[in-house]
Amino acid sequence: MKMSHLYLPNNDNAGNDLKWVHQKLRERLIEFFGGFTYIQATGNYVMPDGSHALEDVIIYQIVIGDRSGVTIREIAKAMLSMAKQESVLIIIDDVPEFIR
């Protein structure tokens, strides 16, 4: 078994609410992995122009076993598209990866 984390902001880059994307993500995590835990957090990121972006995020913790052929990377790519983000951060067994 592996522990995975998926970080998804509460709003897209234009400020639009992403509740519907979070609902889709939760449905998929239940379907493919049988459950999850989430933590509400705030991230502060340095942008390419040097400015800082402060955003509220939800961190999903998922235990990945042999329940499905679907990977957390595939789910993250789908969420990336739905949320219209430049990237989504996942961490699998303490190894971070930006899905673009």
Could you tell me the end-to-end alpha-carbon distance of the chain, in angstroms, rounded to an integer? 25
**Residue 59 confidence (pLDDT):** 98
pLDDT at 1: 82
How confident is residue 93, by pLDDT bands cut at 50, 70 and 90? confident
The class that CATH gives domain 2-99 is: alpha beta
Query: What are the structure tokens assigned to 90, written together?
Result: 């996942």
The predicted-structure confidence for 5-24, as pLDDT tens digits, reads as follows 999 999 998 999 999 999 99
pLDDT at 63 over 60: yes
25: pLDDT strictly greater than 90: yes
Closest CA to 58 of 14, 94, 89: 89
Confidence (pLDDT) at 66: 64
pLDDT at residue 2 is higher than 90:
no
pLDDT digits 0-9 by tens, 30-61: 999 999 999 999 999 898 899 998 999 999 99
Query: What pLDDT is stored for residue 95 in this prediction?
Result: 92
8 Å CB contact between 8 and 25: yes
Q: Where are the domains of the chain?
A: 2-99
Q: How many CB atoms lie within 10 A of CB 56?
A: 11
pLDDT value for 13: 84
Q: Other CB atoms closer than 10 Å to residue 72's CB: what's the count?
A: 23
